[in-house]
Amino acid sequence: MMIKINMAADIVTTPILAEAIIETGSLLNISQAHFDPIHGEVVAEIPSDQLAKIRDALVNRGAEVVVLNTPIHRDEDECVECGACISVCPVKVFSFADDWSIEVDSDKCIQCGTCLKMCPHNALALGQ
Amino acid sequence: MVKKSIHEINGRIRDGSVNVVTAEEMVDIVGELGAEGAAKEVDVVTTGTFGAMCSSGVWLNFGHSEPPIRIGKLWLNDVEAYSGVAAVDAYIGATQQSQSKGMEYGGAHVIEDLVRGNSIDMHGISPGTDCYPRKVIDTTINIYDLNQAIMLNPRNSYQKYNAATNSTNHTLHTYMGSLLPHYGNVTYSGAGVLSPMHNDPNYETIGTGTRIFLGGTQGYIVGEGTQHSPAAGFGTLMLKGDLKKMSSEYIRAATFEGYGTSLYVGMGIPIPILNEDLAKATAITDDDIVTNLLDYGIPSRDRPVLRTVTYGELRSGSIDIDGKEVPTSPMSSFKKSRQIANELKEWIRAGDFLVSMPVERLPTTTPCNAMKQTNVNPLVVDIMSSDVTTIHEDAGFHDAAKIIMEKQFNHLPVVDSGNHLVGIVTAWDISKAVAKDEHDLVKDIMTRNVVTTSPDEAIDISAFKLDSNNVSALPVVDSNKHVLGIVTSDDISKLLARRH
Ligand code: SF4
Ligand code: SF4
């Protein structure tokens, strides 16, 4: 399963990921990481049965953990298959099929929300 | 030399022997048979496009009320419609926004709701006259209650559109969608190979009176659209059609985040193949259609062209900008464009749609000029204060506090050893540092992402930047990032107060 770990400025420079890995003995497979001076965001894959353990270890160190289990949802009635969403998604969830229909690989979604603002037809939603 | 008349072609449509193909299919046919062979074989080539067309709207006639009213101002689902024409006519435009819902709902949504047969709340007011005594009307209507609902779009079907990208360090929300910072993506519009006007660039068969596909029914070209600029390759069309017969499959409201509402309109033009030249023109491919890639980060009418690019490149999914591979995506739907070209093809095949010649050709030389502006735009240099103190990034935060106190500035630009702007410190940053008990260097507490302006920028742009970034001052820098001054929202409000 995928989780997103948010770190505020005060802990962004501390090695909490490494500490959590050592403490729990669980492996985090990091697929995305973004850091700036005020905020850090990491998306990682973890073994589902170890979620509780890993979440506790991270939350105790001041991080926020979100389970990425409500990926992007496309309302097919509203969607006109323009493809505007394709170029803004950081993990390439959207693509054109050979016949120029839209394909959505929602397993990849990291719930960043960027495509929601892009869609001119209000066809995309998170959390359903 | 092949020569066919429109009557011959319509004769074949009537007797069912007509040969119709889409502009996409025509590419291979001309490739195989040559222009002459293709002109003999093919009678009609259909085109199609489905994209945002802001300059769209509908004329409505409500019939007279009892007692009668001459509506002076009118709202449909809280979206204002222009009613300054006689008593009970109004024009609802696609980009007009709802008074209460803002960008979420606009004229385009009213139009889509009409097409879907949904009920619309109507509120009209009038001063009242002897012949039209009523002053207020409130009622609920749907499209079936109207005498007419005539779509009349002043500017549709642009021959070509520019592609858009963004050089700045923040996301822009435009009518070309979200443009990510640092050339993060490219958006474009238009159906390329299926694009109606590209398939008859000399407007041989496209003009006043040409029968077309509009919104899922038959419509007509009224003539050239507003801003028609054929010499520059930016021809446009004014279109009309009966909204009552249109379908929500091809008429869709849209909202562009941070910009407003627009209407996605589906339209297609059949091109009768009267001669070899037309056969050749309809064989145009995505690789033949070139457009400009513009930097929307420059808030000016004259945005710089970063490079030219073909539709073939745009539709491949990514293009190169300065050695970087940048993902592209269309704002218009190619799938729907193709659906339109195919539907039009079926209508013609079935004998339900006859092709037509224009009663008047489109002008080919009209210029499209910029607005005449009689009030000179004030520039940043006219109002900025050049009396600005800067501080070095390695200075202690106490020094910064002292300068802010002494000079009574709220904003202190921060520079590096080369005197380049690297950040800004405000009285607020200092209080924050004190509250958190972090007595650090200026560079630890400053804001690094500084929104700046330049001396030759128009004040209206600076005002917009202040507003959209929620800041109260902009350092003025030259092209080397040296600080020349500062403009504050106070300076600007004073100026604007004088102007209004
Ligand atoms: S929410 Fe983010 S990751 Fe998910 S599909 Fe949208 S843009 Fe892609
Ligand atoms: S941007 Fe919206 S309407 Fe366009 S393809 Fe994506 S989901 Fe569909």
Q: For B350-448, where are the alpha helices, taking DSSP H only? A: 380-383, 397-407, 427-435, 442-445
B368 assigned to active site: no
Q: With 80 as the cut, is the pLDDT of residue B377 above it?
A: no
Which ligand approaches the C-alpha of residue A124 most closely? 2
Check A82 against B186: CB less than 8 A apart: no
CA separation for the pair B307, B385 (Å, rounded):
37
Which is higher by pLDDT, B76 or A39? B76
Which ligand does the CA of A75 lie closest to? 2
C-alpha to C-alpha distance for A5 and B401, rounded to whole angstroms: 36
State the residue for tokens 């490739």: B31
Per-window interface: A 61-120 vs B, CB < 8 A: 80-88, 96, 99-101, 114, 117-118, 120
User: What type of residue sits at position B471?
Assistant: V
pLDDT at A105 over 90: yes
Query: A56: domain range?
Result: 2-68
Q: Find the A83 Cα to ligand 2 centroid distance in Å.
A: 5
Interval B426-443 mean pLDDT: 80
What pLDDT was estimated at residue B460?
Answer: 84
Residue A16 phi/psi, 5-degree rounding, is -70, -30
The residue of A118, A122, A124 whose CB has the most chain B CBs within 10 angstroms, and thus the best one to mutate to test that interface, is A118
CATH of the domain at A47: 3.30.70.120
Q: What confidence score (pLDDT) does residue A8 get?
A: 85
Task: Please report which confidence band the pLDDT of residue B360 belongs to, taking 50, 70 and 90 as the band edges.
Answer: very high
Res. A18 pLDDT band, cuts 50 70 90: confident
Sort out which chain A residues have CB atoms less than 8 A from B262's CB and list them: 120
A33 & A53 share domain: yes
The whole-angstrom separation of Cα B250 and Cα B243 is 11
- On average, the pLDDT of chain B sits at 93
Q: Is A43 in the pocket of ligand 1 (CB under 6 A)?
A: no
How far, in Å, from the CA of A110 to the mean position of ligand 1?
6
**Does position B358 have pLDDT exceeding 60, yes or no?**
yes
Examine the domain organization and report whether A76 and A49 are in the same domain. no
- Which is the CATH superfamily of the domain at B380-499? CBS-domain (3.10.580.10)
Q: Looking at the CA of B332, which ligand is closest?
A: 2
pLDDT over 60 (residue A128): no
Strand partners, B259: none
Ligand 2 centre and the CA of A121: distance in Å?
A: 7
Final residue before a domain boundary, out of A68, A89, A106: A68
Mean pLDDT on B219-243: 93
| Mean pLDDT, residues B444-467 taken together | 87
pLDDT of residue A37: 67
User: Do the strands B217-224 and B237-242 form a parallel or antiparallel pair, or are they unpaired?
Assistant: antiparallel
Split into its structural domains, chain A has a count of 2
User: What's the gap in Å between the CA of A19 and the closest CA on chain B?
Assistant: 26
Amino acid A27: pLDDT? 82
Enumerate the domain spans of chain B.
6-53+152-361, 63-146, 380-499
User: Cα of B333 to ligand 1 centre, how many Å?
Assistant: 20
Q: When comparing pLDDT for B8 and A71, which is higher?
A: B8
Q: Do A56 and A26 have their domain in common?
A: yes
Per-window interface: A 25-64 vs B, CB < 8 A? 37
- Ligand 2 near A119 CB (within 6 A): yes
Structure-model confidence comparison of residues B375 and B450, the more confident one? B450
Q: Which residue of A has its CA nearest to B186?
A: A87
A13 pLDDT band (50/70/90 cuts)? confident
From B256, which residue of chain A is nearest by alpha-carbon distance? Answer: A120
pLDDT of B76 = 98
Average pLDDT over residues A79-86: 97
- What is the pTM (predicted TM-score) of this model? 0.83
List the catalytic residue out of B7, B16, B130, B131.
B131
How far apart CA B145 and CA B191 sit, in angstroms, is 36
Q: Within a 10 A sphere around the Cβ of A70, how many other Cβ atoms?
A: 14
Domain identity same for A54 and A107:
no
B142-151, B218-227, B252-261, B387-396: least confidently modelled range:
B387-396
Query: Are A13 and A27 within one domain?
Result: yes
| Chain B residue whose CA is closest to A82 | B333
Report how far residue B203's alpha carbon sits from residue B283's, in angstroms, rounded to the nearest whole number. 15
The CB of A72 under 6 Å from ligand 2? The reply is no
**Chain B partners within 8 Å of A114 (Cβ):** 178
B447 or B495: whose pLDDT is higher?
Answer: B447
Give residue B500's pLDDT band: very low, low, confident or very high (50, 70, 90).
low
Whether residues A64 and A76 share a domain: the answer is no
Report the residue from B187, B258, B336 with minimal CB separation from A87. B187
Judgement on whether residues A49 and A91 belong to the same structural domain of the protein: no
Nearest CA to B75 among B105, B42, B47?
A: B105
Beta strands in B225-364 (DSSP E): 237-242, 251-256, 260-268, 270-272, 290-295, 305-310, 318-321, 324-330, 360-361
Residue nearest to atom 1 of ligand 2 (CA): A119
Predicted confidence band at B499 (pLDDT cuts at 50, 70, 90)? low
Q: How confident is the model at residue B399 (pLDDT cuts 50, 70, 90)?
A: confident
Q: What is the mean pLDDT of residues A51-80?
A: 91
B199, two tokens:
């398939």
Claim to verify: residue A23 and residue A42 sit in the same structural domain: yes
Question: At a CB cut-off of 8 Å and minimum separation 6, what does A15 contact?
Answer: none
A90 in Cβ contact with A108 (< 8 Å): no
pLDDT at B157: 83
The answer to whether the CB of A83 is under 6 A from ligand 2 is yes
Question: Which of B116, B187, B193 has the highest number of chain A CBs within 10 A, making it the mutation to test binding with A?
Answer: B187
pLDDT band at B300 (very low <50, low <70, confident <90, very high): confident
The answer, yes or no, to whether residue B498 has pLDDT greater than 70, is no
Contact B308, B290 (CB under 8 A): yes
E strand or H helix that includes residue B181 = none
Confirm or reject: Cβ of A20 under 6 Å from ligand 1: no
The whole-angstrom separation of Cα B169 and Cα B210 is 46
On whether both A59 and A91 belong to a single domain, the answer is: no
A94 and A114 together in one domain = yes
Question: Which B positions 304-333 lie with beta carbon below 8 A of chain A?
Answer: 317, 327-333
Per-residue confidence band for A75, with pLDDT thresholds at 50, 70 and 90:
very high
Q: Which of B333, B337, B447 is most worth mutating to test chain A (most A CB atoms within 10 A of its CB)?
A: B333
Residue that wins the pLDDT comparison between B294 and B159: B294
Q: Is the pLDDT of residue B461 over 90?
A: no
By C-alpha distance, the chain A residue nearest B179 is: A88
